């Protein structure tokens, strides 16, 4: 209290010192003439100089301002605070980014001219390095003896943090002393990393310390990976599963390392090389890897590619044909056909394959001649051979004959189910030398295909005057519908529809979209041309030739019921020019007759135990009878019992309960066989069959 009273007295004393001694009233002093004036006056009484009000620097509220002025000052103060806060956040981000880019604080992954390069100034020295990351082998400090691939430091343009796309595997640290001091599960392992934007040939082994130096948020990815694979207990609640031997582990599909196709090439400025580095001549190839999507294509150095055949095939595919606009030659009429007098039946099979060692069987040669004859007659075809007789091979032989004999390089379009598009490409590469492209995948993948696979590139630009780059384009029904706007603009020399019985619904969207495709010829492939109704057969014929088969009512009036032999004979006569069907019993005499052997197998003790558990758990329900309302539940019980007879692991929770105390993969595989009577028999039978 004494302190506060003394401070008040001190303030009062200072205030009194400021007051004028004459009259004891504070008077303001004019800055012009130093005249002291009455505090209520607004101008000097001597020189009429207006009174100037002083701003308070520390307080946003002044006794010289009104209420409106106070609001303005308050809002302005808020804006200043917001501006200062944003400036502080920006400074913090820059300092954090500079810390990540400090070569002394983390592993130096250098990507010149990358989009994430925050230190780029646009100089000429940077522009020449606008290229994908170039990787070179270095020794990994985390895993002694392992070769690690990191981007080559071409120039000190900037640093970029590598991003983990996927952690594919792990193994114990080779040198225990190199593990981090903190006792965490992650510090005792090194991790096999697939980097985002890099191919699988550049996957590296990295320690958790290195990954955390690259990006502290990587600890969450490591944690999630460990929870799924290492530290987490087994599904049944038992101890963690033991690590497999490193030699037995495949961290990814080995086909990911195989070059499927080379899409493009370019020449960059070669980096400075030393005697201990791989010679880099600056050539880069855009690689599509086998099995992987076009969206995962990557640019690779020529010195990293060991597949010379892939380079030869690429150069052959990219050989530029003559410019159609500069050749004095009339354009090809897709509907024109040679005279029937020029048709010559093939007596022997042409030779196919890379070494010309493949040939067609007799019935396949007959199918090829039949397709050729229909093409000469401008009559579409339905090849309806039984499954396994080689409809794909016959069709590819026909398309190759059009390319070679009739000088029609395409384009040919094949629409097939998703499960068959890879087979089409594989058979085409095996039997012919035509360029077959699978048009499928995400929108990004399809854009890459359109950019690099549709047309030839001249000086990096698409040149449509030289025709299409591919011969055959294989796609699915779904993609054909999705990109019908693009595909319908192309004049196809031949349209092939595999599993054509999907066109049996005349009013479906698929049929409507497929009709919009411009085609000079059409081949339908199906093993079941007639499934349930003659109406479905008419739908196929109407798709092939809407002029010859215009009316469904007329067709059903003639062949709707098929009650007598004359109707069947008339239908066969009508279909003969359009449809060819053979079965194995008629054309493959060398095949032995089909035999069926039934072996009865008893349930194992585990199967009996779970079978009884499923039955007893539903006994009350089964005793109710088979009323209409109970049929769905009864079917569910029957299905569970059937699963148990096939293998108890098919029932939910059985595998977890059985493998609760299993710790190794060998024991799990052994239990997989012992729990099922069919697997026990198969385990004994396979060695005999192998012999």
Residue 247 is predicted with a pLDDT of 52
- Indicate if 578 and 622 belong to the same structural domain: no
* CB atoms closer than 10 angstroms to residue 141: 13
Q: Which residue has the tokens 């981007």?
A: 151
Distance CA 490, CA 401 (A): 21
**Using CA atoms, how far apart are residues 636 and 652, in angstroms rounded to an integer?**
13
How far is 79 from 105, CA to CA, in rounded Å? 37
**How far is residue 611's CA from residue 614's CA, in Å, rounded to a whole number?**
5
| Alpha carbon separation from 431 to 110, 352, 394 (Å, rounded) | 45, 5, 11
Gap between the Cα atoms of 436 and 428, Å rounded: 7
Residue 80 is part of which domain span?
68-93
Q: What does pLDDT average to in each consecutive run of 10 residues of the chain (691 residues)?
A: 64 61 62 75 78 54 47 60 78 59 41 38 35 38 35 37 84 64 63 89 88 87 81 44 56 88 82 59 87 90 84 85 57 72 88 88 92 91 89 94 88 93 92 92 91 83 82 93 92 92 84 90 86 79 86 80 77 87 80 81 89 76 51 69 89 82 83 91 89 80
Domain for residue 308, yes or no?
A: no
The CATH number assigned to the domain holding 376 equals 3.40.50.10810
In a domain, 632, yes or no: yes
Q: Is residue 312 part of a domain?
A: no
364 and 505 both lie in a single domain: yes
Domain endpoint, select from 527, 550, 583: 583
Statement to judge: residues 546 and 648 lie in one domain: no
Count structural domains, the chain.
Answer: 4
Residues 506 and 616 both lie in one domain: no
Q: Which two tokens stand for residue 597?
A: 């052997």
Both 462 and 540 in one domain: the answer is yes
Phi, psi (rounded to 5 degrees) for 33: -115, 5
**Residue 4 counted as domain residue:** no
Beta bridge partners of 261: 288
Q: Is the peptide bond before 259 cis (omega within 30 degrees of 0)?
A: no
Same domain, 400 and 541: yes
With contact defined as beta carbons under 8 Å apart, do 537 and 565 qualify?
no
663: nearest Cα among 234, 188, 247: 234
- Adjacent-strand bridge partners of 148: 138
Q: What is the pLDDT of residue 23?
A: 52
Q: Which of 270, 289, 308 is the last residue of a domain?
A: 289
Same domain, 170 and 88: no
SS3 content of the chain, % helix, strand, coil (to 5): 40, 15, 45
The predicted structure's pLDDT at residue 632: 52
Per-residue confidence (pLDDT) for residue 396, from 0 to 100: 94
pLDDT of residue 105: 42
What stretch of H or E contains 513?
A: helix 509-515
Going by C-beta distance under 8 Å and a sequence separation of 6 or more, which residues neighbour residue 630?
A: 621, 624
CA distances from 135 to 36, 93, 152, 159, 300 (A): 83, 29, 5, 14, 9
- The answer to whether residues 258 and 390 belong to one domain is no
Q: How many CB atoms lie within 10 A of CB 326?
A: 8
Q: Is residue 130 part of a domain?
A: yes
Last residue of a domain, one of 255, 289, 323: 289
Spacing of C-alpha 689 from chain mean position: 39
**Are residues 493 and 612 both part of a single domain?**
no
Q: What is the pTM of this model?
A: 0.64
225 and 257 both lie in a single domain: yes
My answer on whether 575 and 668 are in the same domain is: no
In this structure, is residue 612 part of a structural domain? yes
Q: Looking at 397-544, which runs of residues are DSSP E strands? A: 412-415, 436-439, 455-458, 461-468, 472-475, 491-492, 494-497, 518-519, 522-525
356-357-363 Cα angle (round to 5) = 105
Residue 620, in any domain of the structure: yes
Strand bridging mode 461-468 / 518-519: unpaired
Is residue 152 one of the residues assigned to a domain?
yes
Based on the fold, state whether residues 193 and 81 are members of the same structural domain.
no
């Amino acid at each position: 209290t004494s302190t506060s009273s003394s401070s008040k007295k001190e303030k009062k004393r200072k205030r009194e010192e400021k007051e004028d001694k004459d009259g004891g009233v504070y008077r303001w002093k004019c800055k012009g003439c130093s005249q002291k004036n009455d505090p209520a006056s607004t101008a000097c009484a001597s020189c009429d100089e207006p009174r100037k009000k002083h701003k308070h620097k520390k307080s946003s509220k002044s006794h010289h301002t009104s209420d409106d002025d106070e609001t303005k000052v308050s809002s302005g103060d808020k804006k200043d605070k917001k501006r200062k806060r944003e400036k502080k956040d920006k400074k913090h981000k820059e300092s954090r980014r500079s810390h990540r880019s400090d070569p002394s604080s983390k592993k130096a992954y250098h990507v010149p001219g990358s989009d994430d390069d925050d230190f780029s100034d646009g100089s000429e020295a940077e522009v020449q390095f606008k290229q994908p990351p170039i990787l070179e082998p270095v020794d990994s400090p985390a895993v002694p003896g392992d070769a690690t691939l990191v981007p080559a430091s071409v120039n000190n343009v900037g640093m970029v943090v590598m991003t983990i796309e996927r952690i594919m595997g792990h193994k114990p640290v080779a040198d225990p002393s190199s593990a981090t001091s903190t006792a965490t599960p992650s510090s005792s392992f090194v991790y096999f990393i697939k980097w985002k934007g890099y191919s699988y040939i550049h996957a590296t082994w990295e320690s958790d310390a290195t990954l955390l130096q690259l990006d502290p948020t990587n600890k969450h990815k490591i944690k999630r990976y460990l929870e799924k694979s290492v530290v987490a207990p087994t599904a049944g609640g038992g101890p963690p599963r033991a690590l497999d031997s490193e030699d037995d582990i495949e961290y990814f599909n080995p086909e990911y390392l195989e070059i499927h196709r080379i899409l493009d090439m370019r020449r960059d400025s070669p980096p400075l090389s030393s005697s201990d580095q791989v010679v880099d001549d600056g050539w880069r190839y855009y690689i599509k890897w086998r099995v992987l999507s076009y969206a995962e294509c990557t640019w690779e150095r020529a010195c990293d590619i060991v597949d010379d055949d892939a380079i030869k095939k690429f150069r052959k595919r990219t050989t530029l044909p003559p410019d159609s606009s500069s050749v004095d030659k009339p354009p090809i009429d897709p509907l024109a056909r040679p005279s029937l007098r020029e048709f010559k039946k093939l007596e022997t099979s042409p030779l196919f394959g890379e070494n010309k060692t493949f040939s067609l069987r007799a019935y396949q040669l007959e199918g090829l001649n039949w397709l050729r004859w229909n093409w000469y007659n401008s009559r579409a075809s339905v090849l309806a051979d039984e499954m396994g007789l080689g409809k794909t091979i016959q069709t590819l032989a026909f398309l190759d004959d059009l390319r070679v004999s009739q000088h029609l390089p395409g384009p040919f379009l094949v629409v097939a189910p998703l499960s068959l598009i890879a087979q089409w490409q594989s058979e085409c590469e095996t039997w012919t030398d035509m360029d077959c492209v699978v048009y499928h995948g995400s929108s990004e993948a399809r854009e890459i295909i359109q950019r690099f696979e549709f047309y030839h590139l001249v000086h990096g630009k698409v040149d449509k005057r030289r025709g299409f780059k591919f011969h055959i384009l294989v796609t699915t029904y779904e993609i054909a519908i999705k990109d019908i706007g693009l595909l319908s603009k192309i004049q196809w020399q031949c349209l092939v529809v595999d599993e054509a019985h999907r066109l049996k619904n005349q009013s479906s969207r698929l049929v409507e979209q497929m009709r919009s495709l411009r085609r000079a010829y059409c081949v339908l492939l199906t093993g079941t041309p007639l499934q349930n109704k003659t109406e479905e057969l008419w739908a196929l014929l109407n798709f092939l030739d809407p002029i010859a088969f215009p009316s469904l009512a007329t067709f059903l009036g003639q062949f709707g019921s098929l009650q007598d032999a004359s109707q069947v004979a008339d239908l066969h006569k009508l279909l003969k020019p359009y449809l060819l069907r053979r079965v194995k019993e008629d054309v493959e005499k060398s095949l032995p007759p089909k035999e069926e052997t039934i072996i009865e197998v008893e349930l194992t003790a585990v199967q009996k135990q779970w079978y009884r558990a499923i039955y007893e758990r539903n006994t009350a329900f089964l005793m109710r009878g088979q009323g209409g309302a109970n049929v769905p539940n009864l079917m569910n019980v029957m299905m569970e019992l059937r699963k148990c007879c096939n293998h108890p692991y098919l029932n939910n929770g059985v595998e977890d309960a059985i493998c609760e105390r299993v710790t190794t993969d060998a024991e799990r595989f052994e239990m997989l066989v012992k729990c099922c009577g069919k697997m026990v028999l198969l385990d004994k039978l396979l060695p005999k069959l192998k012999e």
